[in-house]
């Protein structure tokens, strides 16, 4: 209808002018960038505030929150349901922007953080998928600790908030996912360990008081979120159909660990629906699980802006007020963006949600800010008050970024005599490829501004004289300049090709359609390798894996390395590995599938387990038994490690209560809960596995010991499952004993069809590399 389309256009004009207004305001906000932190209860500046109980640091947080909430009008309360809280000046509460990000370094992607003259950049660590490949839990925590120090330093000069919506702990379920790069990979155990360690690094204060937070972390995106934009499937409208079994043993574990073991201060619900309900409006998932079962101490925040999305895109509710009401009643405390601020009053007036529910939500938000010291007066006088620009991008922090990158780098192929290159034997090195001189690409998404960059070319050229040809104008590589690249390769003693992807290939809101190297990269690589006279090292810079079967099988390509998106010091780390100053010890945190896999499997099928009747092959190393290009946990080193089992039981007998049904009749499995689990007598429901690990090569190196188990085939159990891993560093000929404590009910259990943990009875197989040990669990 003509009239309505006119209204539509007016609305569009109106929003353009609001945007313009906002643009101008934002500019002026930028130029007035403050140099002091925002905080409440400035009793020095305003002595009258000292009388408020919520400012009294001697009281407990609960009492302070209750006092504060009791002083607010409904209008004022609604302000604190949204991420851009404008504050309440009569109570000395300034505006606070909740949205900051620190996925792998302080980022300015969230509007609560910005770089400025005072702090022009922050240490940019490798994208998470590469850090995960180090399998080094102390590294995960060390990075988190540096990031929170830099974050506090930036907060102190008014450049950042205190609430960071990181990490992303979704399972990297499908190789095409554009955000797989942000995650710790496909394995629930690794993802859980990563979540806990990174969150501790961000949150834990030096004093170790659990009531205080250094900064507040956030595990996201809850839950079963791992499709962005694939064919006609979009995250805003995608309904992830997830069975209870996959939910319990694949999608939920990282979140559970993050809350229960990591004590995270926040969880973010996702855009997608799970089994027909938007996650941000699902009371079972939010109040029921996160708060009820896992006992979150903190706040639940929506993705930006999931509450709007469930109304506008999903049409899940009829009115905007209803969207607000349903999400708050489900357990949401904070909405990223302004939708709740605009529509909460409508919801209250319509009787869809009452003030008590709003009080509950804002109380969780306030309690978090109180644990951060936001209501404790001048931060300069608090712990971390001495941090400032001098503590950002320090030499040590930048060295950790370099170390993290080299600890993660995975060597996938290395023909005898190829790597490491000996600098004295190389007069010229040809460095070729669209990522050979990469800067921003090395950071991956959710980046900030790095302290500085060292590109692969710069890193390699520090050691040997290097020549350079990009070979393609960009990673899409539509028309490679094969002639120049091949000529360069032919004139050099060795060749390093730096290929792969960037954010134009895989990113938020962009999933891949195939697993091939983009454009004509393969042709360039093959022709360059053919022309080369010495070793050819193929370096893949990417988040997701590629089908590089051609390179694996090409004898002219003597080495292959995957470097993720290696962060600001990526070029140094790559050179450290190529010239052997660092012995590679990274292992893939995800399966590299052949192209045929994605031709068979729709990205939108969430099922982890294979379905033979439909030709569905299953997902990840736990359930997919087909061909891989490279497998989960693959990774080579310049030395060699041997394992020897020195202790593991052959038989574990669980003692059941007299009246337990499995005493009288045959059972395939037992509940992984009950007296037989609690009477943890050593050798009864838990046991030790001891392995001797020896470095039998001729140089020092680090090595991850992976302990997998294969349970009996009941309840569609996994082919194998990582039950623990431990990274050790060993000098030449050095050996050590690695000990795993295995709790039968926790670590050796499987999840049944309705999502319950069970101990399968019968023959289990433990594996470490090629070593296998069989173990019988009986009653």
Residues in the site for ligand NAG, rule: CB under 6 A? 136, 138-139, 142, 354, 356-357, 403, 437, 439, 455, 457, 468, 702, 727-729
Give the DSSP letter string of 617-675: --SHHHH--S--SB-TT--B-SS-EEEEEEE--SEEEPPPPTT-HHHHS--SEEES-SH
Q: How far apart are CA 91 and CA 174, in angstroms?
A: 49
Q: CB 614 → ligand NAG: shortest distance, Å? A: 43
Choose among 435, 431, 503: nearest CA to 181: 503
Q: CB 354 → ligand NAG: shortest distance, Å? A: 4
Q: CB 386 → ligand NAG: shortest distance, Å? A: 24
Q: CB 565 → ligand NAG: shortest distance, Å? A: 16
Catalytic annotation present for 187: no
Q: Provide the sign of the torsion angle of the four alpha carbons 97, 103, 105, 110, taken in this order.
A: negative
How far is C-alpha 624 from the chain's CA centre?
A: 23
How far is C-alpha 94 from the chain's CA centre?
A: 32
Q: Which is nearer to ligand NAG, 111 or 441 (CB)?
A: 441
Q: Which is nearer to ligand NAG, 354 or 422 (CB)?
A: 354
Tokens representing 142? 């060390």
Q: CB 726 → ligand NAG: shortest distance, Å? A: 9
Q: How far apart are CA 441 and CA 459, in angstroms?
A: 15
Choose among 585, 583, 588, 582: nearest CA to 564: 588
Q: With 0-12 CB in 10 A as exposed, 13-18 as middle and 19+ as buried, what is 109?
A: middle
Tell how strand 757-760 and strand 669-671 pair up. antiparallel
Give CA torsion, residues 267, 83, 228, 406, to 10 deg: -70
Q: CB 311 → ligand NAG: shortest distance, Å? A: 20
Q: How far apart are CA 492 and CA 427, in angstroms?
A: 8
> What is the DSSP-derived secondary structure letter of residue 565?
S
Q: CB 57 → ligand NAG: shortest distance, Å? A: 31
Q: How far apart are CA 246 and CA 666, in angstroms?
A: 27
Q: How far apart are CA 762 and CA 291, in angstroms?
A: 36
* Contacts of 555 by beta carbon, 8 Å cutoff, 6+ apart: 415
* Contacts of 687 by beta carbon, 8 Å cutoff, 6+ apart: 648, 649, 652, 741, 742, 744
Contact 456, 496 (CB under 8 A): yes
**DSSP-derived 3-state class of residue 329:** helix
**DSSP-derived 3-state class of residue 164:** strand
Q: Which is nearer to ligand NAG, 107 or 136 (CB)?
A: 136
Q: How far apart are CA 277 and CA 593, in angstroms?
A: 31
Q: CB 461 → ligand NAG: shortest distance, Å? A: 9
Q: CB 609 → ligand NAG: shortest distance, Å? A: 34
- The angle, 0 to 180 degrees and rounded to 10, between the axes of the packed helices 188-203 and 137-156 is 40
Q: Which is nearer to ligand NAG, 157 or 457 (CB)?
A: 457
Q: CB 409 → ligand NAG: shortest distance, Å? A: 13
Radius of gyration in angstroms for the set of CA atoms belonging to the chain, rounded to a whole number: 27
- The residue whose Cβ lies closest to ligand NAG is 702
Q: With 0-12 CB in 10 A as exposed, 13-18 as middle and 19+ as buried, what is 393?
A: buried
Per the listing, tokens 């994208």 go with: 127
Q: Which is nearer to ligand NAG, 168 or 407 (CB)?
A: 407
Q: CB 406 → ligand NAG: shortest distance, Å? A: 10
CA atoms within 13 A on the CB side of 659: 1
Choose among 332, 411, 386: nearest CA to 364: 332
> What is the DSSP-derived secondary structure letter of residue 473?
S
Catalytic member of 108, 226, 282, 303: 303
Q: How far apart are CA 319 and CA 308, in angstroms?
A: 10
Contact 564, 448 (CB under 8 A): no
Q: How far apart are CA 144 and CA 375, in angstroms?
A: 24
Contact 446, 103 (CB under 8 A): yes
Q: How far apart are CA 386 and CA 380, in angstroms?
A: 6
Q: How far apart are CA 109 and CA 112, in angstroms?
A: 8
Q: CB 504 → ligand NAG: shortest distance, Å? A: 18
Q: CB 552 → ligand NAG: shortest distance, Å? A: 27
Give CA torsion, residues 592, 596, 598, 601, to 10 deg: -120
Q: Which is nearer to ligand NAG, 193 or 512 (CB)?
A: 193
Give the DSSP letter string of 92-115: TB--EE--BB-SSS-BSSSTT---
β-strand partners of 498: 539
- Which residues are part of the catalytic machinery? 303
């Amino acid at each position: 209808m003509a009239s309505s389309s006119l209204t539509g256009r007016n609305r569009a004009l109106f929003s353009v002018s609001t945007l313009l207004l906002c643009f101008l305001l934002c500019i002026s906000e930028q130029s007035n960038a403050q140099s002091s932190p925002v905080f409440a209860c400035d009793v020095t500046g305003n002595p009258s505030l000292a009388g408020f109980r919520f400012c009294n640091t001697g009281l407990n947080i609960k009492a302070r929150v209750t006092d504060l909430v009791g002083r607010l009008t409904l209008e004022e309360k609604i302000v604190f349901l949204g991420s851009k809280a404008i504050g309440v000046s009569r109570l000395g509460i300034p505006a606070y922007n909740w949205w900051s990000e620190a996925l792998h370094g302080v980022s300015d992607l969230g509007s609560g953080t910005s770089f400025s003259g005072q702090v022009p950049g922050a240490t940019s660590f490798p994208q998470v998928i590469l850090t995960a490949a180090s399998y080094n839990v102390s590294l995960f925590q060390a990075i988190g600790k540096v990031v929170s120090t830099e974050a506090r330093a930036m907060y102190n000069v008014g450049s950042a908030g205190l609430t960071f919506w990181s990490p992303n702990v979704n399972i990297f379920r499908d190789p095409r996912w554009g955000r797989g790069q942000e995650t710790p990979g496909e394995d629930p155990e690794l993802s859980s360990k990563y979540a806990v360690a990174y969150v501790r690094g961000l949150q834990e204060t030096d004093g170790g008081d659990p009531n205080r937070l250094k900064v507040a972390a956030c595990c996201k995106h809850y839950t079963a979120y791992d499709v962005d934009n694939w064919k006609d499937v979009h995250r805003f409208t995608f309904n992830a159909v997830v069975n209870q079994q996959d939910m319990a043993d694949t999608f939920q574990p990282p979140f559970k660990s993050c809350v229960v073991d990591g004590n995270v201060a926040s969880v973010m619900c996702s855009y997608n629906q799970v089994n027909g309900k938007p996650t941000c409006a699902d009371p079972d998932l939010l109040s029921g699980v996160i708060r009820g079962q896992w006992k979150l101490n903190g706040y639940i925040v929506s993705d930006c802006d999931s509450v709007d999305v469930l109304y506008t895109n999903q049409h899940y509710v009829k009115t905007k007020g209803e969207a607000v009401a349903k999400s708050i009643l489900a357990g949401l405390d904070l909405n990223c963006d302004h939708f709740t601020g605009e529509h909460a009053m409508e919801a209250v007036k319509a009787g869809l949600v009452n003030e008590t529910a709003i009080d509950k939500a804002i109380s969780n938000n306030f309690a978090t800010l109180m644990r951060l010291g936001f209501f404790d007066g001048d931060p300069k006088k608090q712990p971390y008050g001495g941090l400032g620009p001098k503590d950002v991008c320090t030499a040590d922090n930048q060295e950790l970024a370099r170390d993290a990158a080299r600890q993660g780098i995975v060597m996938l192929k290395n023909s005898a005599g190829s790597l490491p290159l000996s600098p004295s034997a190389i007069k010229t090195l040809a460095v070729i490829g669209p990522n050979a001189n990469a800067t921003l690409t090395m950071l991956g998404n959710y980046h900030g501004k790095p302290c500085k960059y060292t590109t692969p070319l710069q890193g390699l050229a520090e050691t040997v004289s290097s020549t350079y040809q990009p070979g393609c104008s960009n990673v899409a590589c539509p028309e490679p300049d094969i002639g120049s690249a091949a000529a360069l390769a032919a004139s050099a003693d060795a060749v390093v090709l730096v290929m792969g992807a960037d954010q134009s290939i895989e990113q938020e809101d962009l999933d891949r359609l195939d697993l091939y190297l983009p454009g004509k990269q393969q042709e360039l690589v093959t022709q360059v390798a053919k022309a080369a006279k010495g070793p050819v090292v193929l370096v893949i810079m990417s988040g997701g894996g590629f089908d590089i079967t051609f390179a694996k099988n090409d004898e002219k390509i003597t080495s292959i390395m995957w470097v993720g998106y290696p962060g600001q010091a990526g070029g140094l780390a790559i050179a450290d590995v190529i010239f052997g100053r660092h012995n590679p010890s990274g292992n893939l945190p995800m399966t590299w599938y052949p192209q045929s896999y994605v031709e068979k499997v729709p990205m939108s099928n969430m099922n982890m387990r294979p379905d033979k009747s439909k030709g569905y092959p299953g997902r990840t190393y736990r359930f997919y038994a087909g061909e891989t290009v490279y497998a989960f946990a693959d990774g080579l080193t310049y030395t060699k490690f041997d394992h020897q089992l020195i202790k593991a039981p052959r038989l574990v007998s669980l003692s059941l209560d007299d009246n337990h049904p499995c005493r009288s009749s045959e059972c395939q499995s037992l509940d992984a809960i009950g007296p037989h689990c609690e009477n943890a007598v050593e050798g009864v429901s838990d046991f030790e596995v001891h392995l001797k690990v020896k470095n039998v090569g001729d140089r020092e190196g680090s090595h991850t010991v992976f302990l997998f188990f294969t349970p009996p085939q009941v309840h569609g159990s996994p082919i194998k499952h990582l039950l623990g891993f431990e990274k050790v560093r060993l000098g030449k000929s050095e050996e050590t004993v690695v000990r795993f404590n295995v709790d039968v009910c926790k670590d050796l259990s499987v999840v049944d069809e309705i999502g319950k943990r069970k101990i399968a009875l019968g023959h289990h197989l433990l594996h470490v590399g090629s070593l296998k040990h069989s173990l019988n669990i009986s009653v």
